[in-house]
Structure 1
Amino acid sequence: MLKKHSTTLHGHRTSITLEDAFWQELQRLAGQRGLPLAGLIAEVDDQRPDGTNLSSALRLHVLAALKTEAASATSRQTA
Structure 2
Amino acid sequence: MSAVRKRSISLGQTKTSISLEDEFWDAFKSIARARGLTTSQLVESIAADKQRGNLSSVVRVFVLKSALSGGSSSQLNFKD
Q: Distance in 1 between matches of 2:64 and 2:52?
A: 20
Two-structure CA RMSD over aligned residues (Å): 1.6
The aligned counterpart of 1:68 is 69
Q: Which has the bigger relative contact order, CA under 8 A and spacing at least 6?
A: 2
Larger Rg: 1
Q: Give the TM-score normalised by the residue count of structure 1.
A: 0.81
The aligned counterpart of 2:5 is 3
List, as ranges, runs of 4+ consecutive aligned residues in structure 1 with deviation greater than 3 Å.
Answer: none
More helix per residue: 1 or 2? Answer: 1
Distance 1:30 1:52, change over 3 A: same
Matched, 1:57 2:70: no
Q: Percent identity of the aligned residues?
A: 33
Structure 2 unaligned segments of length 5 or more: list them.
73-80
Give the paired residue count.
70
